[in-house]
Structure 1
């Protein structure tokens, strides 16, 4: 076959290998509605669900081809809401791949967190994750902020919601794995209180910090769906809702040597929103917990390295270079340091309630990161997702997300504004006491009602 014939054959295949391009390339209009409005319309006219399902079917094949966030799907007849599940969480009848190219298992039962879903929520897909939760990248594209890296191991959870392929997605958050991709896609991400009993059927990375996490487009969307997730057996007795919450602003994050001007300006805007809500923040310090940010990364690295021998026997596949780099960091954590970190965690968690009482706050607010989200047009910094203490800029790399992780507390990330160039979403985290998920949703809803949702375009692919 001549060179010209080869090119013609390839071009012919590429022209015909995708879905019908004549329809469905623009996001259906109904996906632009908030879930509360969609709920009202469905209550008044349940037949809309079938009409919308048909529109979704045309959109989804184009959207996933472009944004690359789904790993497997299953049919659902006219669901009211679509749920995606991170591919490290077991779903009966669907393969769990753990982000590995040459591994899968087929669980006999779904994870505990998926046991009591309301019938109106259809579990329709598994979503992409990074290799074993610790590698770079899962190949997803950021729908609304294409220059921003949506990485974090729950990247598929955030991208699938941002693309309108899911209304809500379940991920896991160890050191920010839900909060980072959610914030980088302009979404809301909730890390739940760390509880071992909630993690049955979830691949363990660092068992003392692993936590469930949820992504939705807005806090109001998550607030609407939260009662339908059937989480009551896992939630525990929730902190009470209040007319006004006592808000602390983390003073450590106000250091201009650590936090960039753009993030400090965003934080000032958030501070103004809380003040407008009658909840003016008071600056608070958390010196004991702040000093443990690096310990959280070291604990995760050591846990991953200790488990790696069992992984390799089971998976029998070559790991990505960034996975190996992360494990190398864990290998360097000594047994004595590992024991010291766990003892330190016990002390921090044992005293965290007393700290909230003494500080007289219900929640603590701080930026999502010291800097704006990473721009994928620039080279990826570092050679591991887990920073080593010897690396330059370590204090910035360990970031702010470990505060909730090390203390086992819930935290929600809320987008506040866009960067000066309009290319990146900038977000805060709100960290609450144990079992304060309902409080965090309440506060996040009020903040978003004050600052508004980020302006995003209707997607076309």
Structure 2
């Protein structure tokens, strides 16, 4: 238990380039030529042929000098937020070994946090980069929707899917990000809004633990004003995101499920069945909430603005919790993280504080397309 790789191998990057000398791993949702993309489920692996080509994100990193050192554990078909895979186990969270690493990019975060590679690719639909970055004390980013190519990446819910990445330090993080987004770090954000509803929603000790990081952010960006991130309520945004995401996940995986009748853990099977039962009557109002959320974020981030909130409302839960407690943890994470999938805005996670000896990150949401500004913020973070 605790292994973060599902396949160890080495594919050397270009001899020269901005990432020369750096190593990276890829979540087992990204295609590597000649290898099956396993997606965290043995029946998916058994019913799919080896990939014909590398995923575009992998091509970019290799072409710029980074060396690929393996594929990492993911929650089954990316449907998870805690990082406990019934088939592949739970990767180690080295910052809090008795706690989960966060999912679904659990193995990628674990590999970086353990120092087994310099950076790693993950995916983020409903929080799957942001959550493990927060739980493992890493830099992580969900870029603007569509900014990093997802060709060769197994989809889940395409209207929310993004390819993201992790690193332990801001310099490496920004270097990798520049290659992936195709733009150098830009000017720092110029206006800060503190999401008071998000800090109020956070669990005991989280706001206090993030206070020094928030002060550092204000020193970099400018004194923050307070406002609500989600005037309708975080729970309302989460309900809309869940309806849309699960319906799309069923559209993605349903034909395979019906043809193959694969094995799943109970939690993943339950999630897929919920997706299959999501009606158009539920999705219509959810799309209106999504339009409202996008308008709200466009307003809060215009003119170089960013919004700060806890990356997760709580530190990582303990491993092997009873089902009711696991469900409660996931519900709270979904409420906190729904903004990413709903709006498509880029979200940077900064390593920021500790609660009960476990990390909690500070999330910074930028304007759509302002990824380079968030890279600059990551670069400057350690020197603030």
Give me the TM-score of the superposition, normalised by structure 2. Answer: 0.86
Structure 1 partner of 2:177: 226
In structure 1, the gaps of 5 or more residues are 1-65, 388-393, 451-461
1:195 aligns with 2:140: no
Q: Contact between 1:116 and 1:231, CA under 8 Å: does it hold in 2?
A: no
Q: Shift of residue 173 of structure 1?
A: 0.2
Considering only aligned residues, what root-mean-square deviation do their CA atoms show, in Å? 2.7
- Partner Cα distance (1:182, 1:324) in 2: 26
Which is richer in strand? 2
Look up the SS of the partner of 1:325 in the other structure.
Answer: helix
- The match for 1:113 among 57, 63, 67 is 57
Q: Shift of residue 147 of structure 1?
A: 1.5
- Partner Cα distance (1:111, 1:215) in 2: 17
Give me the TM-score of the superposition, normalised by structure 1. Answer: 0.72
Q: Shift of residue 277 of structure 1?
A: 3.5
- Partner Cα distance (1:201, 1:156) in 2: 19
Structure 2 partner of 1:131: 76
Partner deviation per Cα, 1:352-408 (whole Å, 9 max, x = no partner) = 434433xx6611000022222212264354566996xxxxxx5x3533111122100
Look up the SS of the partner of 2:365 in the other structure.
Answer: strand
Q: Over alpha carbons, which structure has the higher Rg?
A: 1
Look up the SS of the partner of 1:398 in the other structure.
Answer: helix
Classify 1:240/1:98 alpha carbon distance in 2 versus 1 (closer, same or farther; 3 Å).
same
Higher relative contact order (CA 8 A, sep 6+): 2
In structure 2, the gaps of 5 or more residues are 14-19
Structure 1 partner of 2:225: 282
Q: Shift of residue 328 of structure 1?
A: 2.8
1:432 aligns with 2:366: yes
Structure 1 partner of 2:187: 241
Q: Shift of residue 219 of structure 1?
A: 1.9
Structure 2 partner of 1:176: 127
Structure 2 partner of 1:61: none
Look up the SS of the partner of 2:269 in the other structure.
Answer: helix
Q: Shift of residue 304 of structure 1?
A: 1.9
Structure 2 partner of 1:207: 158
Q: Shift of residue 253 of structure 1?
A: 1.6
Look up the SS of the partner of 1:427 in the other structure.
Answer: strand
Look up the SS of the partner of 1:399 in the other structure.
Answer: helix
Q: Shift of residue 124 of structure 1?
A: 2.1
- The match for 2:25 among 74, 77, 84 is 84
Structure 2 partner of 1:71: 6
- Partner Cα distance (1:211, 1:180) in 2: 14
Q: Shift of residue 133 of structure 1?
A: 0.9
Structure 2 partner of 1:43: none
Look up the SS of the partner of 1:75 in the other structure.
Answer: strand
Q: Shift of residue 315 of structure 1?
A: 4.8
- Partner Cα distance (1:277, 1:335) in 2: 45
Q: Contact between 1:171 and 1:212, CA under 8 Å: does it hold in 2?
A: yes
Structure 2 partner of 1:34: none
How many residues end up aligned between the 2 structures?
A: 366
Tell which deviates more after alignment, 363-372 or 268-277: 268-277
Segments of 4+ moved more than 6 angstroms = none
Counterparts in 2 of 1:30-429, with a 5 A limit? 67-76=2-11, 80-104=21-45, 105-117=49-61, 118-135=63-80, 137-138=84-85, 139=89, 140-195=91-146, 198-227=149-178, 229=179, 231-232=181-182, 240-242=186-188, 245-255=190-200, 258-277=201-220, 279-286=222-229, 287=231, 290=234, 291-313=236-258, 315-349=260-294, 352-357=297-302, 362-376=305-319, 378-379=321-322, 381-382=324-325, 396-419=332-355, 421=356, 423-429=357-363
Classify 1:119/1:441 alpha carbon distance in 2 versus 1 (closer, same or farther; 3 Å).
closer
